[in-house]
Amino acid sequence: MAKILVIYYSRSGNTRKMAEAVAKGAKDGGGEVTLKDVKECEPKELLEYDGIIAGSPTYYGIVAGEMKNFFDRSVKHHGKLEGKVGGAFASAMALGGGNETTVMSILQMMLVHGMIIQGKTKKNHYGAVSINAPDEEAWEECRQVGIRVATLSGKLFE
């Protein structure tokens, strides 16, 4: 089974709820899943996984500082995440409130790590987004990110 890490930063709990839906999807997609608050995760743990999915609230249009610091610290292991599968999700307070640019900022961090990203043909193309707490549609979009990353990780690593 592909090993998948779902890592998130959440203050209000909205991004955590999204992370749970992503983790559910990663299981549904055949992965062995670990769900972690970024505050309880060390960058070296990233090395243990085939797929990594990161989520953040939208702070000033991009990833929250707490998650950014985590990726900045991962520079110690630069090169070793190459070829792993990545995915992203983000919550915001409004439509047009920075959801997509936050997801893109996370994907850019992953591309610099040499990771592999897959888009989606319908609805949430880059990664899952939610306005405040995930409603039924956002929950399903989160689950789909999990399925997608686990499925691709399975193809590449099993």
Map residue 69 onto helix, strand or coil: helix
Q: Could you tell me the smallest distance in angstroms from the CB atom of residue 16 to its own copies?
A: 18
C-beta closer to its own copies: residue 55 or 127: 127
Residue 117 and residue 89: Cα distance in Å, rounded?
A: 13
Residues forming contacts to its own copies in the complex (CB under 8 A) are 59-65, 68-69, 71-72, 74-75, 78-79, 82-83, 93-101, 103-105, 108-129, 131, 137-138, 141, 152, 155-156
We find the least distance from the C-beta atom of residue 22 to its own copies, in angstroms, to be: 14
Residues ≥6 apart with Cβ < 8 Å to 77: 43, 44, 46, 47
Considering the complex, state which of residue 19 and residue 64 has its C-beta at the smaller distance from its own copies.
64
Note whether 90 and 57 are within 8 A (CB): yes
Q: What is the DSSP letter of 83?
A: T
In the complex, the smallest distance separating the C-beta of residue 100 from its own copies, rounded to whole angstroms, is 4
- What's the closest the beta carbon of residue 84 comes to its own copies, in angstroms? 10
The first and second tokens of residue 71, run together, are: 């990726």
**Measuring CA to CA, which residue among 116, 118, 154, 142 is closest to residue 18?**
142
For its own copies, the closer CB: 28 or 114: 114
Cβ-based nearer residue to its own copies, 127 or 146: 127
